[in-house]
Structure formats: structure tokens, C-alpha cells
């Protein structure tokens, strides 16, 4: 299956195949991801978390819309701002907060307190702190999946900073040459920590790099979850059909600092206020309200449901034990 693309826009000829219920479900995941992030920040400020606290505020549409295009047997290699993709892929709130609070019954058995975990049951792997290093690993999984004839797709994410690292080029080139079922999403959220995109690369569009690998590449509005889903669905279908990888650049804004300890004072005044006008949640809410799929009563009911789910998961995690100190090195060193 071949797809005509414009390298500066989303794929040509795409059309929404989402039902009203599916669009409502997308809104639920957007809201759930936002409220999970808010809860993580609260726990961090209360001193109940150690390590970094990262949010996807402003980036929810990219994480949710992209993962929504995947099937259960597909592979996900997310980054630290992609909590929404974990939720869409089926990760439980209990596991998320056990992990954030570094409890013994977390996926990393209390050895980590962020999103650095793997859950093979859901085919979620990562993230690793050296973000670009995930790309060769994800490409390797795509190769293994192809050899096993799984008909699975591997979706991986990288930031506007990480895409300038050598692993990006080597991994994407291998995926292209070997025609692997791989979708790489560049989350262009304007800053690599404190470095603006204008000082990172000279290309007008990061998706322009795709032509050098002989693969389709396009740039989309990463705050429009419906557009993200539609574009990623084309790329996923293309990969599953055996037509190789696609590079997608989503344009977003990192609405908080790099982490909770970063005040983002380097962001030009007014920039965040301007991007707030494109809040992913408000954009989809307006669409659903206009189409009478959502109303104030059903919105309130959803918000109360989410708040209850998060509170129960946090309480479960807080009541769970930490790992004993003697377990710290278990599984780290060979016998």
C-alpha cells in the first residue's frame, strides 16, 4: 500500500474513521493524562516522590492520538512526556503510581520512581534517559517482529533535541533500508531543555529529513488529537502492510519546564500564554460540545470518575511498601 504525502503537511486523502464513542474515548484519555500529571506534581511537591517529575502538559494530543492508532500486539517505545500513550496502551493507574512512588510492587520493584520501566505484557518498553538510544532498540524490535511475521508495528518517539543525536540517523536509516514496520514521531515542543529549536537545526521542518532516508515524512499540528490519530493511523497501516517506516513531526509546546525543578524562565514572555489558546483538551472539548457528543453534565461525570480512579490508585500506592534495602542490587549484577 503506497501513500501520497506532502512533506510539510499531513498525509493526503486521510479521513476520519472515528465513531462518536471513540472521539469521546480520546477525550477521556486526554483528561486522564492531564489529571495524572497534575497528581504527580502534587505528590512531588508534597515530598512523597523522589527524582524527576515530568509532565506532558500541552503534549497530550500527540501521546494519546498516536497510541490510539496502535493495536494490542503492537510495540510502544514512549518518552517521559508520553504518559497518555501508556494509558491508551492499557497501563493501569495502579502501576503508574506504584512506579512514580517507587514501591516494591512496582514494575521496577522500587528501583526507579519515574517512567523508566518495561511492561512486556503490554509491549511497552522505555523510556531510557538517553532518549535517542531507544531508536536503535525500537528498530531492532521492528526487525525481530518482521522476522517472526507478527504483523506488528513499532511506534517510537523522540524530541526536537534528541533527533539531532547520531542514534536517530543510524536507527532511522536502518529501518528505511530494511523496510521495517516502524513509525517514529518527533515531538517538536520548541525546547530541548532550555535550547530553542532555532539553535538546534537549520531545517524548516524536521520532517524534511525523511526524504534523505527515502521514506514518507510530514508535519502535523500536535495539539489536534483527531489530526494526530488520523495521520498516525495512515503511517501504522502503511507499516503493517509492509511498506516500511514513516517519520512524523508533531508541533506542540512544552507548557511546563523540563521537569518540576525547572522554572522555564528561558521561555520568551507571552509564548506559553499564546500556546494555551491551543490547549489539546479544550480543542477537542469544543468539537465534542458542538457535535453534541459531550455536555456539561457528562463532562462533570467524567471528571469525577477520573478523580476517583486516580485517588484510589494513589492511595493503593501510598499504602504499598518500599523495597527493602538489601534488594537494591538484586538483578543488577550477575551471580
Asked if residues 164 and 200 have their Cβ atoms less than 8 Å apart, the reply is yes
Render each residue's pLDDT in the chain as its tens digit; 335 residues. Answer: 233 333 335 554 455 689 999 999 999 999 999 999 999 999 999 999 878 888 899 999 999 999 999 999 999 999 999 999 999 999 999 999 999 999 999 999 998 888 899 999 999 998 888 899 999 999 999 999 999 999 999 999 999 998 999 999 999 999 999 999 999 999 999 898 888 888 888 888 999 999 999 999 999 999 999 999 999 999 999 999 999 999 999 999 988 888 888 888 999 989 989 999 999 999 999 999 999 999 999 999 999 999 999 999 999 999 999 999 888 778 778 87
Task: Say if 299 falls within a structural domain.
Answer: yes
Domain extent, residue 122, equals 20-321
Residue 230 domain-assigned (yes or no): yes
Burial class of 116 by CB neighbour count within 10 A (0 to 12, 13 to 18, 19+): middle
pLDDT at 102: 93
Determine, yes or no, domain membership for 331: no
> Kindly report the CA angle at 248 between 244 and 254, in degrees rounded to 5?
150
Cβ–Cβ under 8 Å, residues 76 and 89: yes
CA distance 291 to 269: 35
Q: What is the pLDDT of residue 307?
A: 98
Asked whether residue 79 is assigned to any structural domain, the reply reads yes
335 domain-assigned: no
Q: Which pLDDT score is estimated for 129?
A: 84
User: How far is the C-alpha of 110 from the C-alpha of 15, rounded, in Å?
Assistant: 44
290: in domain: yes
Q: What is the model's pLDDT at position 7?
A: 32
* Helix, coil or strand: residue 251: strand
Report pLDDT for 86. Answer: 97
CATH number of the domain residue 265 falls in: 3.40.50.970
In this structure, is residue 85 part of a structural domain? yes
Q: Which residues are catalytic?
A: 254, 258, 266
Give the pTM.
0.92
Residue 330 lies in a domain: no
CB 251 within 8 A of CB 230: no
Q: Count the neighbouring beta carbons within 10 Å of the beta carbon of residue 68.
A: 23
Helix 166-177 to helix 134-147 angle (10° resolution) is: 20
Structural domain count of the chain:
1
CB 34 within 8 A of CB 60: yes
Amino acid at each position: 500500500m503506497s501513500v501520497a504525502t506532502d512533506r510539510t503537511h499531513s498525509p493526503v486523502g486521510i479521513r476520519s474513521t472515528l465513531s462518536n464513542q471513540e472521539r469521546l474515548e480520546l477525550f477521556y484519555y486526554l483528561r486522564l493524562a492531564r489529571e495524572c500529571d497534575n497528581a504527580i506534581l502534587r505528590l512531588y511537591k508534597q515530598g512523597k516522590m523522589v527524582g524527576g517529575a515530568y509532565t506532558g502538559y500541552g503534549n497530550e494530543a500527540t501521546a494519546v492520538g498516536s497510541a490510539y492508532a496502535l493495536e494490542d500486539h503492537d510495540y510502544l517505545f514512549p518518552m517521559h512526556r508520553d504518559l497518555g500513550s501508556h494509558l491508551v496502551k492499557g497501563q493501569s493507574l495502579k502501576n503508574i503510581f506504584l512506579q512514580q512512588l517507587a514501591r516494591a510492587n512496582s514494575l521496577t520493584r522500587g528501583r526507579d520512581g519515574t517512567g523508566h520501566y518495561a511492561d512486556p505484557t503490554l509491549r511497552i518498553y522505555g523510556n531510557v534517559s538517553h532518549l535517542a538510544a531507544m531508536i536503535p532498540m525500537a528498530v531492532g524490535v521492528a526487525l525481530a517482529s518482521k522476522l517472526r511475521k507478527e504483523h506488528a508495528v513499532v511506534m517510537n518517539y523522540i524530541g526536537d533535541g534528541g533527533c539531532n543525536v547520531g542514534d536517530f540517523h543510524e536507527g532511522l536509516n536502518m529501518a528505511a533500508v530494511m523496510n521495517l514496520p516502524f513509525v517514529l514521531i518527533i515531538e517538536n515542543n520548541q525546547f530541548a531543555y532550555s535550547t530553542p529549536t532555532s539553535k538546534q537545526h537549520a531545517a524548516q521542518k524536521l520532517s524534511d529529513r525523511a526524504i534523505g532516508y527515502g521514506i514518507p515524512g510530514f508535519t502535523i499540528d500536535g495539539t489536534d488529537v483527531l489530526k494526530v490519530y488520523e495521520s498516525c493511523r495512515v503511517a501504522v497501516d502503511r507499516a503493517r502492510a509492509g511498506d516500511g517506516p514513516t517519520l512524523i513531526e508533531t508541533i506542540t509546546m512544552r507548557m511546563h519546564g523540563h521537569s518540576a525543578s525547572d522554572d522555564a524562565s528561558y521561555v520568551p514572555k507571552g509564548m506559553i500564554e499564546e500556546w494555551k489558546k491551543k490547549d489539546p483538551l479544550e480543542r477537542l472539548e469544543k468539537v465534542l460540545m458542538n457535535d453534541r457528543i459531550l455536555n456539561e453534565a457528562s463532562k462533570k461525570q467524567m471528571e469525577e470518575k477520573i478523580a476517583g480512579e486516580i485517588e484510589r490508585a494513589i492511595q493503593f500506592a501510598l499504602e504499598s511498601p518500599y523495597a527493602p534495602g538489601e534488594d537494591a542490587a538484586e538483578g543488577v549484577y550477575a551471580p
